[in-house]
Structure 1
Amino acid sequence: MSSAPSRSNPLPRAIEDAVDTVLGLVVPGMVIVVDGRSGAGKTTFAREVLRRWPADVDVEPVALDDLYPGWDGLVAGSAYAYARVLAPRLERRAATWQRWDWNADRYGDVRACPPERAVILEGSGALTPASAALSSVRVWLDAPASVRRERALARDGETYRPHWERWARQEDEHVARHDPRALATHIVELA
């Protein structure tokens, strides 16, 4: 698949194609997990899926950026998402979780999601064997490190720059431990 942006749409073709594929699989109550390293296009992908999501199917977007407890929190945020967002679905219970307040350095407002609502869980560390067992669609996005770094720093600027290496080490550990690419049902490669 080509990853060059089309002339009529600024999205890379690979993301457009993957969004089309995922939208063809939509059913009520489904779980979509989107993972990849920082700057790979996870949020772009999830936003485009949500933008084009069928109006007759309820969906709850959950971004791990809202769950990580700080810059050293990739593992904790992933575990929290599983325990509070995904695991309750096993018992057909509503999921409840708190969003991380980065300014106050603590959990803040409470969110809830009924079990019949579809969920899109997106973020680095989202795709593990545990989350894979509870999701029907699993997307891994990838791009060369230089491209990812450029995209991430363009997006988050100086706020993220001092944390890039620190966060990348956590992503490396996640990839080595869980091999999310191998768990994915769909792989999106960007150039």
Structure 2
Amino acid sequence: MAAIARAPRNAVVLIDGPSGAGKSTLADRLLAAWPTDAVPQLLRLDDVYPGWGGLAAGAELVLNGLLHARTAGHSAGWRRWDWASLAQAEWHAVAPDRPVIVEGCGSLVGDAARHAAVTVWISADDAVRKRRALERDAGGFDAHWDEWQAQWERYEELEQPRQRAGIVLEAG
């Protein structure tokens, strides 16, 4: 929380790590503990990925549509992915004067860290992560775990997100 206390009023916080590591839990706790004078907007990359094969595409959409646009002073936001219709849905504008927390696999893609006041990497043991992710989604993730994990491993190898994080956490 000390990093948040020192961050600017419209800070961007990026939380990256593999599936099931605890990114959503950390984001929820950060949101609850945030100083009340500037309540952050929360973006979960799960709401952006264009389908189960969309880790890289979702990360790029947030990088360009939110982070680059916000830094350039343009209208910034993201388009929700409708998992039921398998199509893009409504646009969500992100106010430039309020903080924003972005959590999800791929949030430290490219030069994303350059646009953030706080960058976090969170990880956990692979067996623990898999159990958490599959339990969380009550069977909805089971058939897609291997595909998602392969994308994650490619992203991690290419992007080296852990090295881009200012804060590194190992969840239990």
Q: TM-score, with normalisation over the residues of structure 2?
A: 0.95
Find out whether 1:65 has 2:46 as its counterpart.
Answer: yes
Does residue 4 of structure 2 align to residue 53 of structure 1? no
**C-alpha separation between the residues in 2 aligned to 1:149 and 1:113?**
32
Gaps of 5+ in 1: 1-19
Alignment of 1:73-92 (within 5 A): 73-92=54-73
Q: Which residue of structure 2 aligns with residue 178 of structure 1?
A: 159
Contact 1:139–1:186 (8 Å) recurs in 2: yes
Q: In the TM superposition, what are the counterparts of 1:1-191 in structure 2 within 5 Å?
A: 20-191=1-172
**3-state SS of 1:39 partner:** coil
Alignment partners' CA distance in 2, 1:161 and 1:22: 36
Which consecutive segments of 4 or more residues in structure 1 shift more than 4 A? none
SS of the residue 2:80 aligns to = strand
Q: Give the RMSD, CA atoms, in angstroms.
A: 1.2
CA distance in 2, matches of 1:114, 1:30: 11
CA distance in 2, matches of 1:66, 1:133: 23
**TM-score, structure 1 as length reference:** 0.86
> Bigger shift: 65-74 or 111-120?
111-120
- Specify every segment of 5 or more residues in structure 2 that has no aligned partner in the other structure, as ranges: none
The CA deviation at 1:93 is 2.1
**Percent identical across equivalent pairs?**
36
CA distance in structure 2 between the aligned counterparts of 1:186 and 1:101, rounded to whole angstroms: 32
Structure 1 stretch 165-174 or stretch 85-94: which is displaced more?
Answer: 85-94
What do the CA deviations read for 1:110-135 (whole angstroms, capped 9, x no partner)?
21012222111110011123101111
99-108 or 127-136, larger mean C-alpha shift: 127-136
SS state of the match for residue 24, structure 1?
A: helix
User: What's the secondary structure of 2:116's corresponding residue?
Assistant: coil
How many residue pairs align between the two structures?
A: 172
